[in-house]
Structure 1
Amino acid sequence: MKLFNTCILCAFLTTSTTLAATADDKKTKAPKPCTIRSPSSGAFFDLSAISIQLPPKKKEEDKKKESTLESWHAKGYDYGSNFTLNFCAPVVESLEDVEGVDKGLWRNVSAFYTQGKRTYSIGQQNSELVFRGSKLVLNYTNGSPCATSSKKRSAQLSHNVEDLTTRAFPSDDDDDDDDDHDKHSKKPNHKEKVRRKSTIISLLCQKEVLGPKAPKATVAFIGASEDQCTYFFEARSQAACAGIETTPQQLGPGGVFGVIMMIAIMVYLVGGCFYQRTVMHQRGWYQLPNHSMWAGIWNFLTDAFIILTSSCARFLPSRRGYSRVSLNGNGNIRGRHSEDENRLIDQLDEEWDD
């Protein structure tokens, strides 16, 4: 009974642990970077194919490859500057003296442009894709500070001109108004929050293959906001097309074979114990399937172990070796042994004569 309960308990534990492990994997499975699933259609998108990554270790071969690596480029045309960007990763080019960005964040810039000797960041690294309706979008934020708007300056200048024309002939009422204006102007002005440049990339599917040497993606500059704080791009690539999610295999061929063998052994033991107990009415160790075969194997292994240990014991070194010990004390032990031997021989001779 105890053996049968043990078999049932082992089977229950193995099935429960496997089910719990699969459930935990489903719950804790986090989306990979630069991937997303459409909330409306359920289609899967993976842009890691067009994300240019630097090699992890910089060996001599890796340094050569790194020198040939380039990020994606987009012509600015009438904007006056060309743009360099990467998808879901920082640009591979080494940047220095980025305007308005801390030195520790220079390596995280994912899009930038240069004007003269100045480098402007238009977004830090971001690997989270979003859907705006049916449009797949990638956003970069926290770039260089935005320039002050020229419209605000012109508005202030026109306002000052109007004040001068209307107040050419001051009066007593005007003096009172001036006093009130001075009082209000003396109020402290809170420091405005610094606005920073950002980038919006619209990703479009391009199924046509232009050629074997054609780039995996083409990036086009659409435009920038009036205050030069937001930049819009359009990228076309096969990576932006819906695909099938491929999950990496958790176990290798050996692991899969081991799991199959474990399940087969558990089925053999539990099913055999159940059959021997219910049909053959066996108890104890006889509930095991093919008990006689396993008992014979066990006896063979024990006999082989005993033979090997006994044969190896001959080669073990001994300090004194084999020697007969003779003790002389109150009685002569050696003499007693010889007398007993003679008495036994005489007794056997008498019995043989009879």
Structure 2
Amino acid sequence: MHPPTPSRALLLCALAALGGKAVAEESSKTTTTSTPVVTPCVATATTGAGAFFDLRPDTAVVVPEGEKPPKGSPVDDYVARGWDYGSNFTLNFCSPVVKEVEDVVGLDKDLWKNVSAYYETKGKVYALGLSDGNLVPRGRKLVLQYSGGSPCGVSDEKSKEKRWEVHDGATYKYHEYDDDESEDSESRRASKDKDEDDEDEDRKDKDKEKEKEKLKTQRRKSATFSFLCDRDPDTPTAASFVGTDPDECAYFFEVRSMHACSIAEPHKPGSVGPGSVFAIIFFIAVLVYVVGGIFYQRTVAHARGWRQLPNYSLWAGIWSFIVDLFTILTSSCGRLIPRGRGYHTLSGSPSGRRHSRDAENRLIDQLDEEWDD
């Protein structure tokens, strides 16, 4: 089998380069068209130096029975004191609360397991929002928002208290008047015909549908968390209540954590790492060296055959150098092998020594001439 000629080698190099370019274009197309994977509780700033934030160590996790809790991860919900609000807040970051909640006001039963912040008052549970892991960097702060909680406004108990409060000197009270009116209305309803009853049922059904539509479009409670960097490792992550609007619809909290400080972004799977970058640069350098050397040797030095390769004499002498090195190593190792005891033949004649030295000199001269060629 004959080695390929230099023209064929150039053709193969060109085909390999074109094939590599096509593969790179296809890979770039697939990477650009694929949907990006968003990691909850992780964010990278789009401005400045592109700071990286990871709040996953601050997320409280649920530990199954019989298993050990993960090292460094909290297992209990965070509690923010409400101070003058009258209720404390139970919350978690980027995940639902660890403690199971039930009978959440204004939420379907299927959504109870997704509540990430809530408070209790007079035996009722009000949600501040559902779980969301979308962090938004804004300058030195991180912002996390929950939405879709209980309907906005004060609770029904508070509204009833305000509505039924009447001083003792009044001639009548609203609830007594309503009771009398309800008795009269019940007697009137009993005397109505079946047609009127059907109309009432239809009216009730329409009212229920209107209430459902109203609940869908009704404003709901939300919570906004502002994370601040605290580099003290001895200070645990703590959340504090800032305030709410008059409608009790938007709640604001401030959280101090060491994990809210920017860190170095880890290597993402599928992206080009330092080793891959070095390999690409090395491959390009070798390709430029080979193609550029062949072009120079062919056009400037007018070399033909294998001598078109750059530094042909160096690469051609590498094989002989490896053979000589192997011979030297084997002979050196052979001297270390112990030989059998006994007498050895000694050359006592000086003429024999002279002939052996001449032969060695001729061999050395021959090797020097071959090396120069």
TM-score range, shorter chain: 0.5 to 0.7
Q: Is the counterpart of residue 231 in structure 1 residue 239 in structure 2?
A: no
Q: Is the counterpart of residue 37 in structure 1 residue 45 in structure 2?
A: yes
State the distance in 2 between where 1:254 and 1:134 align.
Answer: 32
Give the counterpart of 2:222 among 199, 203, 208: 199
Kindly indicate whether the alpha-carbon contact (under 8 Å) linking 2:228 and 2:260 is maintained by their aligned counterparts in 1: yes
Q: Is the counterpart of residue 128 in structure 1 residue 134 in structure 2?
A: yes
Give the counterpart of 2:290 among 257, 269, 279: 269
Instruction: List runs of 5+ in structure 2 lacking aligned partners.
Output: 1-6, 167-173, 175-202, 320-373
Residue 138 (structure 1) aligns with = 144
Q: TM-score, normalised by structure 2?
A: 0.52
Residue 248 (structure 1) aligns with = 267
Task: Give 3-state SS (helix, strand or coil) of 2:292's partner.
Answer: helix
Task: Give 3-state SS (helix, strand or coil) of 1:120's partner.
Answer: strand
Give the counterpart of 1:48 among 46, 51, 55: 55
Q: How many residues align?
A: 271
Shift of 1:198: 2.8
Residue 328 (structure 2) aligns with = none
Instruction: List runs of 5+ in structure 1 lacking aligned partners.
Output: 162-185, 298-354
Shift of 1:84: 1.8
State the distance in 2 between where 1:53 and 1:14 align.
Answer: 47
Shift of 1:140: 0.5
Question: 1:1-354 to 2 correspondence within 5 Å?
Answer: 1-11=7-17, 13-14=19-20, 33-34=40-41, 35-37=43-45, 44=51, 46-48=53-55, 51-52=58-59, 54=61, 61-63=67-69, 69-91=75-97, 93-99=98-104, 100-115=106-121, 118-130=124-136, 136-146=142-152, 147-148=155-156, 190-191=210-211, 192-194=214-216, 195=218, 197-207=220-230, 209=232, 212-215=233-236, 217-240=237-260, 243=262, 246-248=265-267, 250=271, 255=276, 258-259=279-280, 261-282=282-303, 287-289=308-310
- Taking CA–CA contacts closer than 8 Å with sequence separation of 6 or more, which of the two structures ends up with the larger relative contact order? 1
Moved more, 229-238 or 5-14: 5-14
State the distance in 1 between where 2:228 and 2:66 align.
Answer: 37
State the distance in 1 between where 2:272 and 2:38 align.
Answer: 20
Moved more, 220-229 or 277-286: 277-286
1:83-135: CA deviation from partner (whole Å, max 9, x where unpaired): 122222333x1414241444443443221233466543221111223478997
- Aligned CA RMSD, in angstroms, stands at 5.2
Letter in 1 for 2:91: L
State the distance in 2 between where 1:144 and 1:60 align.
Answer: 35
Kindly indicate whether the alpha-carbon contact (under 8 Å) linking 1:121 and 1:197 is maintained by their aligned counterparts in 2: no
Shift of 1:199: 3.0
Shift of 1:237: 3.3
State the distance in 2 between where 1:97 and 1:218 align.
Answer: 25
Shift of 1:220: 1.0
Task: Give 3-state SS (helix, strand or coil) of 1:262's partner.
Answer: helix
1:298-342: CA deviation from partner (whole Å, max 9, x where unpaired): xxxxxxxxxxxxxxxxxxxxxxxxxxxxxxxxxxxxxxxxxxxxx
